[in-house]
Structure 1
Amino acid sequence: MAPVLGGHRVELRGMQPRDADALFPVWTHPRVAPWLNAPPLSSAGDAQQLIGLLLQMAQEEESLRWSITLPGAGVIGSCGYNYWQLAGAYRGEIGCELAPAYWGQGYMTEALELALGFGFGVMGLNRIEALCHPDNIRAGKLFQGLGFRQEGLLRQYRHTAEGFQDVVLYALLRGERAQDNT
């Protein structure tokens, strides 16, 4: 289960089935949904099923997802590790989404700083990757602002309902994060 991580303005807590009502409008928002590598959702019940799958994956240590909460506003998004590999690699892939009403206010930067600290410090990761659609300029700027470096374009890396899709690979190494914090 994901531990609670507290920041200055946001708190990350383990995703729960009750979060479906708050996350459904985020995951299906027309400015968010096109960037997600997830099946389309048609109801809060679908969101609850997705959360159930994510919780099952967390129990099997295949994934780790937090709900991003804001005092007075409740759940405003989610973030976490889509996967990680410790044996021989010590790397993981991070992902995130936030309700558009909260974009540009630093909430996701704060949330990801907490998740990155957990990944490098507690999980023992050496490399954290983020995969973004090439047209998702906001996400690219977010990850670069956190110190991630763009490493390349993975051609036709994902298959979606629209067909094969390229992604941009960003990565942050433990040593680079340490240098940024000195």
Structure 2
Amino acid sequence: MYVCGGDIPQLEGERIRLRRMRSTDAFSLFECWSRKEVREHSGIPELDSIEDAAEMIQFLNRLSLTEDGLRWGIVNKETDQWMGSCGYNFWQLEGAYRGEIGCELSNQYWGYGYMHESIDLLLHYGFEVMGLHRIEALVDPQNERANRLFTAQKFQMEGYLRGYRHTAEGFHDVHIYSILNRDWTQMES
């Protein structure tokens, strides 16, 4: 059985690295999460200060200790510049072998394939290391970029969940996407 135990392993892609978030990432996280175009479909909370961003980083890192989540910072391999974050919002092994991923990228990095590369790393880690059978993503139906991203990553859109997610603005519908280990294995071969 997979056990995280607080470890957030570094994952390497061609152009990006997924790594544990650091306190030095607080300014970049604050900048990213302060942008309306990043937050509007994601449900991430608005941060009031860089100190709030530093506390959020500590909170996200602590989730790995209790295995309630696993979040990586997405950084450029050459510059180590923080661009966004991604990870497993939750996972369940016994009886389900499934996990839910979430991600956001600062809008200045949109359109360059960084999130596509990040999702590839999450899928590899989820299927190969964690032993998941199914990986899900919940997406705001109005978030056209995310809907295109998961479709391009060969996730299947399975349905429309009414009033599924609650934010400060109220209840919101989501699309549920999934990819199974066998789908991913076929793509990899």
Q: Which amino acid aligns with 1:128?
A: I
Structure 1 unaligned residues grouped into runs of 5+: none
Equivalent residue for 1:146? 153
Q: How far 1:18 sits from its partner (Å)? A: 2.3
Q: Which amino acid aligns with 2:106?
A: A
Q: Which amino acid aligns with 1:162?
A: E
Aligned-partner Cα distance in 2 for 1:179–1:111: 19
User: Does 2:96 align with 1:95?
Assistant: no
Q: Which amino acid aligns with 2:57?
A: I
Deviation digits for residues 118-175 of structure 1 (CA, Å, limit 9, x no counterpart): 0100011110000011100100110111110100011000111111100110000000
Equivalent residue for 2:3? none
User: Does 2:9 align with 1:3?
Assistant: yes
Equivalent residue for 2:172? 165
Aligned-partner Cα distance in 2 for 1:148–1:15: 27
Which of the numbers 15, 22, 31 marks the counterpart of 2:21?
A: 15
Q: How far 1:7 sits from its partner (Å)? A: 0.9
Equivalent residue for 1:64? 70
Which of the numbers 33, 37, 43 marks the counterpart of 1:37?
A: 43
Which of the numbers 122, 127, 135 marks the counterpart of 1:115?
A: 122
Aligned-partner Cα distance in 2 for 1:135–1:20: 28
Q: How far 1:20 sits from its partner (Å)? A: 1.2
In the superposition, the TM-score normalised over structure 1's length comes to 0.96
Q: Which amino acid aligns with 1:35?
A: H
Aligned-partner Cα distance in 2 for 1:149–1:138: 16
Which of the numbers 114, 131, 138 marks the counterpart of 1:131?
A: 138
How many residue pairs get aligned? The number is 182
Could you say what secondary structure the match of 2:45 adopts? coil
Equivalent residue for 1:46? 52
Deviation digits for residues 27-47 of structure 1 (CA, Å, limit 9, x no counterpart): 121110112223221111111
Could you say what secondary structure the match of 2:40 adopts? helix
Q: Among the aligned pairs, what percent are the same residue?
A: 49
Equivalent residue for 1:25? 31
Q: How far 1:64 sits from its partner (Å)? A: 0.4
Structure 2 unaligned residues grouped into runs of 5+: 1-6
Q: How far 1:73 sits from its partner (Å)? A: 5.8
Greater mean alpha carbon deviation, residues 30-39 or residues 63-72: 30-39
